[in-house]
Copies of this chain bind each other. A is one copy, B any other.
Amino acid sequence: MRSFSLLLDFKTGEFTPHDRINMRKLSHMKGMFFDTESELQILRKEDPLIYSFSEKILPEENGHLQLATTTIQPGKIGEEYFMTKGHYHRRPDTSEVYLGMGGEGCLLMQTVDGDFDSIEIRQGVIAYIPPYWGHRMVNTGKTPFIFFAIYPGDAGHNYGDIERTGFKKILVERDKKPVLIDNPRWKQRD
Protein backbone atom coordinates (compact mmCIF):
# COMPACT_ATOMS: atom_id res chain seq x y z
CA MET A 1 0.00 0.00 0.00
CA ARG A 2 1.23 3.53 -0.79
CA SER A 3 0.96 6.64 1.35
CA PHE A 4 -1.60 9.37 0.76
CA SER A 5 -2.45 12.76 2.16
CA LEU A 6 -5.66 14.54 3.14
CA LEU A 7 -6.27 18.18 3.98
CA LEU A 8 -7.92 18.85 7.35
CA ASP A 9 -9.56 22.28 7.40
CA PHE A 10 -8.84 23.73 10.87
CA LYS A 11 -11.86 26.05 10.46
CA THR A 12 -14.55 23.57 9.38
CA GLY A 13 -13.01 20.37 10.80
CA GLU A 14 -13.67 18.53 7.52
CA PHE A 15 -10.96 16.66 5.63
CA THR A 16 -10.79 16.22 1.85
CA PRO A 17 -10.94 14.03 -0.06
CA HIS A 18 -13.07 11.51 1.82
CA ASP A 19 -14.52 8.29 0.48
CA ARG A 20 -17.89 8.15 2.20
CA ILE A 21 -20.30 10.40 4.12
CA ASN A 22 -22.76 8.72 6.48
CA MET A 23 -25.95 10.43 7.65
CA ARG A 24 -27.70 9.66 10.94
CA LYS A 25 -31.21 11.05 11.03
CA LEU A 26 -33.57 10.80 13.99
CA SER A 27 -35.30 7.80 12.38
CA HIS A 28 -31.97 5.92 12.54
CA MET A 29 -31.84 6.43 16.33
CA LYS A 30 -35.31 5.30 17.38
CA GLY A 31 -35.63 4.94 21.13
CA MET A 32 -32.13 6.25 21.88
CA PHE A 33 -33.31 9.63 23.23
CA PHE A 34 -34.94 9.61 26.63
CA ASP A 35 -38.08 11.52 25.67
CA THR A 36 -39.76 9.08 23.27
CA GLU A 37 -42.92 11.21 23.18
CA SER A 38 -41.00 14.22 21.80
CA GLU A 39 -39.22 11.91 19.38
CA LEU A 40 -42.53 10.67 17.97
CA GLN A 41 -43.97 14.19 17.73
CA ILE A 42 -40.93 15.37 15.74
CA LEU A 43 -40.92 12.31 13.48
CA ARG A 44 -44.56 12.96 12.55
CA LYS A 45 -43.46 16.27 11.00
CA GLU A 46 -39.86 15.73 9.88
CA ASP A 47 -36.79 13.51 10.16
CA PRO A 48 -33.98 15.86 11.23
CA LEU A 49 -30.32 15.12 10.58
CA ILE A 50 -28.69 14.47 13.98
CA TYR A 51 -25.10 13.90 12.81
CA SER A 52 -22.97 12.93 9.84
CA PHE A 53 -19.49 11.50 9.53
CA SER A 54 -16.95 11.43 6.72
CA GLU A 55 -14.60 8.50 6.44
CA LYS A 56 -11.51 7.54 4.55
CA ILE A 57 -11.75 3.86 3.59
CA LEU A 58 -8.73 2.03 5.02
CA PRO A 59 -7.95 -1.63 5.66
CA GLU A 60 -9.80 -2.96 8.73
CA GLU A 61 -6.63 -4.69 9.86
CA ASN A 62 -4.44 -4.68 12.94
CA GLY A 63 -1.56 -2.23 12.44
CA HIS A 64 -3.61 0.20 10.32
CA LEU A 65 -5.45 3.28 11.61
CA GLN A 66 -8.91 4.64 10.77
CA LEU A 67 -9.77 8.32 10.25
CA ALA A 68 -13.16 10.06 10.48
CA THR A 69 -14.66 13.51 11.01
CA THR A 70 -18.06 13.74 12.71
CA THR A 71 -20.39 16.75 12.76
CA ILE A 72 -23.27 16.77 15.26
CA GLN A 73 -25.95 19.34 14.52
CA PRO A 74 -27.17 21.65 17.32
CA GLY A 75 -30.58 20.76 18.72
CA LYS A 76 -32.53 18.76 21.29
CA ILE A 77 -35.12 15.99 21.47
CA GLY A 78 -37.21 17.17 24.40
CA GLU A 79 -34.55 18.46 26.78
CA GLU A 80 -31.82 16.02 25.65
CA TYR A 81 -29.11 17.33 23.33
CA PHE A 82 -28.41 15.85 19.90
CA MET A 83 -25.78 13.12 20.21
CA THR A 84 -24.19 10.18 18.42
CA LYS A 85 -25.55 6.64 18.81
CA GLY A 86 -22.42 5.74 20.77
CA HIS A 87 -20.60 2.45 20.58
CA TYR A 88 -18.11 0.07 22.09
CA HIS A 89 -15.46 -1.33 19.79
CA ARG A 90 -16.14 -4.75 18.27
CA ARG A 91 -12.61 -5.53 19.44
CA PRO A 92 -13.20 -4.10 22.91
CA ASP A 93 -9.53 -3.81 23.96
CA THR A 94 -8.85 -0.91 21.57
CA SER A 95 -8.53 2.83 22.21
CA GLU A 96 -9.70 5.88 20.28
CA VAL A 97 -8.45 9.46 20.08
CA TYR A 98 -10.85 12.37 19.53
CA LEU A 99 -9.67 15.85 18.57
CA GLY A 100 -12.19 18.70 19.00
CA MET A 101 -12.27 20.87 15.84
CA GLY A 102 -15.18 23.27 16.43
CA GLY A 103 -18.26 23.95 18.52
CA GLU A 104 -18.87 22.72 22.06
CA GLY A 105 -19.70 19.28 23.29
CA CYS A 106 -19.14 16.54 25.75
CA LEU A 107 -17.73 13.03 25.51
CA LEU A 108 -19.64 10.46 27.59
CA MET A 109 -17.91 7.15 28.35
CA GLN A 110 -18.94 4.01 30.20
CA THR A 111 -17.79 0.46 30.76
CA VAL A 112 -20.02 -2.61 30.71
CA ASP A 113 -19.44 -2.84 34.48
CA GLY A 114 -21.21 0.49 35.02
CA ASP A 115 -18.21 2.81 35.39
CA PHE A 116 -18.82 6.27 33.89
CA ASP A 117 -16.72 9.28 32.86
CA SER A 118 -17.10 12.47 30.81
CA ILE A 119 -14.83 15.10 29.20
CA GLU A 120 -15.84 18.51 27.88
CA ILE A 121 -14.65 18.97 24.30
CA ARG A 122 -13.87 22.14 22.36
CA GLN A 123 -11.36 23.08 19.66
CA GLY A 124 -7.94 21.60 20.42
CA VAL A 125 -9.05 19.19 23.14
CA ILE A 126 -7.62 15.71 22.60
CA ALA A 127 -9.54 12.99 24.45
CA TYR A 128 -8.02 9.54 24.93
CA ILE A 129 -10.67 6.82 25.22
CA PRO A 130 -8.97 3.77 26.75
CA PRO A 131 -9.73 0.16 25.83
CA TYR A 132 -13.12 -1.20 27.00
CA TRP A 133 -14.81 2.23 27.30
CA GLY A 134 -17.96 2.80 25.23
CA HIS A 135 -18.20 6.38 23.96
CA ARG A 136 -20.80 8.87 22.76
CA MET A 137 -20.42 12.53 21.79
CA VAL A 138 -23.05 15.17 22.59
CA ASN A 139 -23.46 18.67 21.12
CA THR A 140 -24.15 21.05 24.02
CA GLY A 141 -23.71 24.22 21.93
CA LYS A 142 -25.66 26.36 19.48
CA THR A 143 -23.45 25.57 16.45
CA PRO A 144 -22.34 22.32 14.77
CA PHE A 145 -20.00 20.33 17.01
CA ILE A 146 -17.15 18.83 14.97
CA PHE A 147 -14.44 16.37 15.95
CA PHE A 148 -11.80 14.27 14.25
CA ALA A 149 -11.31 10.65 15.32
CA ILE A 150 -8.43 8.18 14.95
CA TYR A 151 -8.67 4.55 16.03
CA PRO A 152 -7.00 1.21 15.35
CA GLY A 153 -7.73 -0.35 11.97
CA ASP A 154 -9.32 -3.48 13.43
CA ALA A 155 -11.29 -1.79 16.28
CA GLY A 156 -14.67 -2.09 14.54
CA HIS A 157 -17.99 -0.86 15.97
CA ASN A 158 -20.36 -2.51 18.41
CA TYR A 159 -23.53 -0.38 18.41
CA GLY A 160 -25.79 -3.14 19.70
CA ASP A 161 -24.79 -3.03 23.36
CA ILE A 162 -25.52 0.70 23.66
CA GLU A 163 -28.81 0.21 21.78
CA ARG A 164 -29.82 -2.40 24.37
CA THR A 165 -28.60 -0.72 27.57
CA GLY A 166 -28.53 3.01 26.77
CA PHE A 167 -25.98 5.25 28.45
CA LYS A 168 -25.75 5.41 32.23
CA LYS A 169 -26.03 9.20 32.18
CA ILE A 170 -27.63 11.58 29.68
CA LEU A 171 -27.04 15.27 28.96
CA VAL A 172 -30.07 17.50 29.20
CA GLU A 173 -30.63 21.26 29.18
CA ARG A 174 -31.89 22.77 32.45
CA ASP A 175 -31.99 26.58 32.95
CA LYS A 176 -30.23 26.86 29.55
CA LYS A 177 -27.23 24.88 30.81
CA PRO A 178 -26.11 21.30 30.11
CA VAL A 179 -26.64 19.01 33.10
CA LEU A 180 -25.58 15.38 33.39
CA ILE A 181 -28.34 13.29 34.97
CA ASP A 182 -28.82 9.59 35.63
CA ASN A 183 -30.64 7.83 32.81
CA PRO A 184 -33.70 6.20 34.42
CA ARG A 185 -33.91 3.84 31.44
CA TRP A 186 -30.32 2.62 31.69
CA LYS A 187 -29.94 -1.13 32.07
CA GLN A 188 -26.66 -2.64 33.23
CA ARG A 189 -25.68 -5.29 30.72
CA ASP A 190 -26.47 -8.91 31.69
Residue numbers of A with Cβ under 8 A of B are 1-10, 15, 56, 58, 62-65, 67, 91, 93-97, 99, 107, 109, 117, 119, 121, 123-131, 133, 150-153
Contacts and interface: CB of A to CB of B under 8 A. Distances in A.
Contact of A128 (B5, B96, B123): B5
Contacts of A15: 126
A107 B97 CA distance: 23
4 shortest A-B CB distances, which residue pairs? A1-B130, A6-B126, A63-B94, A63-B93
Contact of A97 (B1, B65, B127, B131): B65
Chain A contact surface mostly: strand
Given A1-B130, A119-B3, A63 B125 contact: no
30 contacts: A1-B130, A3-B107, A3-B109, A3-B119, A3-B127, A3-B128, A4-B127, A4-B128, A5-B119, A5-B121, A5-B126, A5-B128, A6-B125, A6-B126, A7-B125, A7-B126, A8-B99, A10-B10, A10-B123, A10-B124, A62-B62, A63-B93, A63-B94, A63-B131, A63-B152, A65-B150, A65-B151, A65-B152, A67-B97, A152-B152
A5 B127 contact: yes
